[in-house]
């Protein structure tokens, strides 16, 4: 099984990328590729720019990465209650090239933030939106208070949340095998 994972953030120290990476590696001996969205630097999408310049080549690369996956793990970052502007821009450009960008793909959606809500608004929006682009959402998981509940060496520290994610992973592994 090939897993593509990324945090829906362009932050070089993205806590969502850390959570997505950790989660992908909990699936055991599978091929894992973690994408860095900083490699998908794009101009702000407008129909005028699309009409004048076409689609940036890097979008095809992103689509190829999504297409290569058996499972996609995305951890949704949140700014002001929604996707980050940079991720939304990547999403907009990608959907103009391939509307069903997640066609026949199984997704595990995550979110985290430094605060107590764990980016739940962004996660909820993704859970509702991504199936319109072909995704099958297998499950979702939110980790609040990232800096208190996660350690780069130990992973999730809060036992209840750790067990919750482990149960999700076990179920998904059995469904995909």
User: pLDDT of 55-102, one tens digit each?
Assistant: 999 999 999 999 999 999 999 999 999 999 999 999 999 999 999 999
pLDDT score, position 91:
98
User: pLDDT of 58-71, one tens digit each?
Assistant: 999 999 999 999 99
* Residues forming beta bridges with residue 107, ordered by sequence position: 72, 137
DSSP secondary structure string, 127-164?
A: HHHGGGGTEEEEEEEEE-SHHHHEETTTEE-SHHHHHH
Q: What is the mean pLDDT of residues 158-168?
A: 98
| 177 has pLDDT over 90 | no
Number of structural domains (the chain) is 1
Going by C-alpha positions, the residue among 5, 8, 6, 32 that lies closest to residue 119 is 8
Going by C-alpha positions, the residue among 71, 86, 82 that lies closest to residue 24 is 71
Q: What is the mean pLDDT of residues 119-128?
A: 97
Q: Which domain holds residue 126?
A: 2-176
CA distance 175 to 64: 24
Q: What is the mean pLDDT of residues 116-144?
A: 97
**CATH code of the domain containing 123:** 3.40.50.360
| 127 has pLDDT over 90 | yes
Q: What is the mean pLDDT of residues 105-118?
A: 97
CA distance 32 to 4: 6
pLDDT score, position 111:
98
The answer, as to whether pTM is greater than 0.85, is yes
| 133 has pLDDT over 90 | yes
């Amino acid at each position: 099984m090939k897993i593509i994972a990324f945090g829906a953030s362009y932050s070089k120290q993205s806590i969502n990328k850390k959570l997505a990476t950790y989660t992908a590696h909990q699936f055991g001996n599978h091929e894992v590729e973690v994408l860095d969205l900083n490699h998908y630097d794009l101009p702000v999408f407008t129909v005028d720019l699309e009409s004048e310049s076409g689609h940036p080549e890097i979008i095809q690369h992103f689509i190829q990465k999504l297409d290569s996956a058996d499972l996609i793990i995305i951890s949704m970052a949140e700014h002001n209650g929604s996707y980050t502007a940079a991720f939304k821009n990547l999403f907009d450009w990608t959907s103009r090239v391939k509307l069903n960008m997640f066609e026949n793909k199984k997704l595990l959606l995550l979110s985290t933030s430094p605060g107590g809500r764990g980016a739940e608004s962004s996660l909820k929006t993704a859970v509702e939106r991504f199936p319109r682009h072909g995704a099958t959402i297998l499950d979702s998981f939110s980790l609040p208070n990232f800096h208190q509940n996660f350690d780069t060496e130990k992973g999730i520290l809060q036992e209840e949340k750790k067990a919750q994610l482990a149960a999700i992973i076990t179920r998904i592994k059995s469904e995909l095998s």
